[in-house]
Amino acid sequence: MNGTTIKTILNEPKSKNDIKYANESFRYESILDHNVSERVFKMLSEAENLIEDGYVPLYLLSDPEIYEAERIKIFATSWNFLAHESEIPYPGDYVVRYIEQTPLIVVRGEDNIIRVFLNVCPHKGREFVKAEIGNTSHIRCPYHGFVYNTRGKLVGCPVQKHAIGDIINYNDFNMYRINSEIYHGFIFGNLDPKPKKDLLNFLGDFKFYFDLVSNKSDTGLTFTNPQRWVVPFNWKAAADNFAGDIYHAFTAHATGYALFPKETIKANAVLTGLQVDAGNGHGIAFSRIIDSPQWYGNWWPELIKKAKNTLTESEYKFWTKYSTSTIIGNVFPNFGFLNAGMPFKGGSTKESIAPILTFRVWNPISSDKTQIWNWFAIENDAPDDLKKYSYLAYQHSFTANGVFEEDDMENWITQTHAGKSMLKLKLAEKVGEYKPLINVGAPGKIQSYPSDIGSMSFWRELVNKLLE
């Protein structure tokens, strides 16, 4: 990939809280009154007690009936990341996305407003947009030919007068719109017609940390189109890992780390890190390299000055002090991200490392199958060379055939397999349990590495929401 194939979008400078709330009418009802079976209720109640004591029952991972409950209680009520504004920069641009298996269209209307609709025709339910990305002035259903504009309004159909008469009176035929909100260019959708929390409340304390990965330049980020692949693991294995498992890097990623120049990878890079339970099931971890304070593995030098203008004072202070090597996190339920220095070519010098930023959705297909959606992102105003090297480093490390990515697949696949056991196994996610919480002037509960505190936050939120 060369520098020109990364779309450079000159977005309007972002305000601190650029939320746009969809308040149009929603012509569908949620099925949130879904009651879990007696069997699942018993399992969840047991899980709630076990989690209090630092244990996670393995059946939470792969049980098909729990998965059915998650579809309604987790995915239909959470704010789910769908796309980044830079993927649809021009009026008429759209992408097809999913919340669990619910098909959606994220479209920038001719009025430049981004809306999210079900990709389901209100006439007889055909999924009507098949091209996964494109630009269009209208959307035409291939079944009976209803035509919609990019604001989701029905504007015509074949033999209209004979078919539906005066379409002005037929709001029933407009596309189904869902709630969506945008934060720093990140478009989130919510299937609940009346979400209990808006996006910022859903992020809660995690906003502080999400800013650190999404808002370091006032020109915003630019995303590539996502790479996707299907892997036989349960989505929660990946979410648990990104929410709070740096510990595995010593072992699972030993091969990958062998590619790094020796002076940049020392055990202290991991052991001087912080693990955060940011509440609401969100987890994030930071590491720094104390022996090489001048070498910043996960950003480009000019960004240090730029970020002063976009981050709050406390965010900036925290970022420059604690995150000089790696940031890895998960927005509940299934939106992970990673920012780290990764090798883009062989050799053993610091110059062979470039910062990468990747976002991923662990989109569930079933209790033992997940489609990984994987985006590369970089600041719009990053130097062209850096865009190129960063993309190469991303390809080598965190794509379907990336060294680090592959390291994790077998872990998550076999966890999922073990979760199908007919035995009730309780996992002791107690790494770091003996350690005190530390105060570094940032929100949430924080422990030094290694720690399962972020993972346990994820499991606690999952069970709480399933029992709601």
Which residues here bind Fe ion, judged by CB under 5 A?
408
Q: Which residues contact 294 (CB under 8 A, 6 or more apart)?
A: none
State yes or no: residue 167 binds ligand FES (CB under 6 A).
no
**What is the contact mask toward ligand FES in residues 89 to 108, using x (rule: CB under 6 A)?**
--------------------
Which of Fe ion, ligand FES, none binds 228 (CB below 5-8 Å, type-dependent)?
none
Which of ligand FES, Fe ion, none binds 337 (CB below 5-8 Å, type-dependent)?
none
Q: Which residues contact 335 (CB under 8 A, 6 or more apart)?
A: 80, 81, 359, 360, 361
Euclidean distance between CA atoms 435 and 206, whole angstroms: 22
Which of Fe ion, ligand FES, none binds 154 (CB below 5-8 Å, type-dependent)?
none
Whether residue 91 contacts residue 108, with contact meaning beta carbons closer than 8 Å, is answered with yes
DSSP state at residue 74? I
State yes or no: residue 141 binds ligand FES (CB under 6 A).
yes
Distance of closest approach, residue 256 Cβ to Fe ion, in angstroms: 9
Euclidean distance between CA atoms 221 and 214, whole angstroms: 7
Stretch that binds ligand FES, among 42-50, 72-80, 139-147, 370-378 (CB under 6 A): 139-147
Residue 88 CA neighbour count, 13 Å, CB half: 31
The token pair that represents 359 in the structure block: 């976002």
Compute the Cα dihedral for 84, 88, 94, 96 and give only its sign. negative
Residues 143-162 that bind ligand FES (CB under 6 A): 143-144, 146
Site size toward ligand FES (CB under 6 A) is: 9
Distance of closest approach, residue 145 Cβ to ligand FES, in angstroms: 6
Give residue 132's Cα distance to chain centre: 19
Compute the Cα dihedral for 185, 186, 190, 191 and give only its sign. positive
Pick one of 16, 34, 42, 124: the residue that binds ligand FES (CB under 6 A).
Answer: 124
The residue with tokens 């990764």 is 342
Stretch that binds ligand FES, among 122-130, 251-259, 383-391, 418-426 (CB under 6 A): 122-130
CB atoms within 10 A of CB 321: 13
State yes or no: residue 120 binds ligand FES (CB under 6 A).
no
Stretch that binds ligand FES, among 89-97, 136-144, 285-293, 408-416 (CB under 6 A): 136-144
Stretch that binds ligand FES, among 84-92, 140-148, 355-363, 442-450 (CB under 6 A): 140-148
Whether residue 142 contacts residue 121, with contact meaning beta carbons closer than 8 Å, is answered with no
Q: Which is nearer to Fe ion, 315 or 408 (CB)?
A: 408
The residue with tokens 């648990």 is 240
Q: Which is nearer to Fe ion, 408 or 452 (CB)?
A: 408
- Nearest Cα neighbor of 22 from 210, 182, 201 is 182
Q: Which is nearer to ligand FES, 64 or 142 (CB)?
A: 142
Euclidean distance between CA atoms 367 and 383, whole angstroms: 42
Q: Which is nearer to Fe ion, 408 or 461 (CB)?
A: 408
Distance of closest approach, residue 126 Cβ to ligand FES, in angstroms: 4
Euclidean distance between CA atoms 390 and 370, whole angstroms: 26
Distance of closest approach, residue 137 Cβ to ligand FES, in angstroms: 18
- Nearest Cα neighbor of 59 from 231, 234, 232 is 234
Stretch that binds ligand FES, among 121-129, 197-205, 216-224, 357-365 (CB under 6 A): 121-129
Amino acid at site 386: L
Which of ligand FES, Fe ion, none binds 123 (CB below 5-8 Å, type-dependent)?
ligand FES
Compute the Cα dihedral for 151, 7, 373, 32 and give only its sign. negative
Stretch that binds ligand FES, among 142-150, 236-244, 245-253, 429-437 (CB under 6 A): 142-150
Which of Fe ion, ligand FES, none binds 408 (CB below 5-8 Å, type-dependent)?
Fe ion
Whether residue 283 contacts residue 301, with contact meaning beta carbons closer than 8 Å, is answered with no
Q: Which is nearer to ligand FES, 56 or 157 (CB)?
A: 157
Q: Which is nearer to ligand FES, 175 or 342 (CB)?
A: 175
Pick one of 60, 82, 88, 121: the residue that binds ligand FES (CB under 6 A).
Answer: 121
Q: Which residues contact 194 (CB under 8 A, 6 or more apart)?
A: none
Q: Which is nearer to Fe ion, 180 or 416 (CB)?
A: 416
Give residue 463's Cα distance to chain centre: 20
User: Which residues on neighbouring strands pair with residue 231, listed in sequence order?
Assistant: 370
Which of ligand FES, Fe ion, none binds 186 (CB below 5-8 Å, type-dependent)?
none
Catalog residues that contact ligand FES under the rule CB under 6 A: 121, 123-124, 126, 128, 141, 143-144, 146
